[in-house]
Structures are given as structure tokens and as C-alpha cells.
Amino acid sequence: MDYPELYELVFQAPAVEDDVVIVRRTDRAGAGGYPIYEDESGIVRAEISDRGEVRMLASGGHQAPRTPLLARRLVT
């Protein structure tokens, strides 16, 4: 399966505009066998299926990651 290189994760924010985080595919796979994506800082991590289903992954202790409203494939 050929997975996209980049995704945009859109999170609901209390402000007027939603928060958008761009994540890049890593060489690792999650528990479901799908690629793990992360942002440049390595803090935002997600396993994204071939159907665009997102499972957020904690990158550190005491973290409770929120699920995004939307995951959009980005074409490179």
C-alpha cells in the first residue's frame, strides 16, 4: 500500500480558527499496522489508516492527545 507523505490534522480550537498541524510519515508502524505520522517537533503523533482513520499517540508522559476533526491528505 502506498501511503501519503503528508497529512494535515485539523483540531477544533476555542478561537475563531481551527488549529492545523502538518504531520509527515515516519518509517514506523503503529499497533494497527498503519504508518505513524508526526509533526516537526515529534510531539504530535498519529497512526493513520488507509481510510484516513486517525489514532492519536502520546509522545510523552501525562499526555492526553485530542482526536482531530479531520485528516486531509496533502499532495507533494
pLDDT tens per residue, range 2-41? 889 999 999 887 767 878 999 999 999 999 999 999 999 9
Concatenated DSSP letters for 24-41? EEEEEE-TTSSEEEE-TT
pLDDT (0 to 100) of residue 14: 74
Query: Residue 64 — very low, low, confident or very high, per pLDDT cuts 50/70/90?
Result: confident
Cβ 45 vs Cβ 59: under 8 Å: yes
Cα 40 to Cα 31: distance, rounded to the nearest angstrom: 22
> What are the residue boundaries of the structural domains of the chain, listed by start?
6-74
CA 9 remoteness from chain centre: 6
Q: Is 5 helix (H, G, I), strand (E, B) or coil?
A: coil
Asked if 62 and 51 count as a contact pair (C-beta separation under 8 A), the reply is no
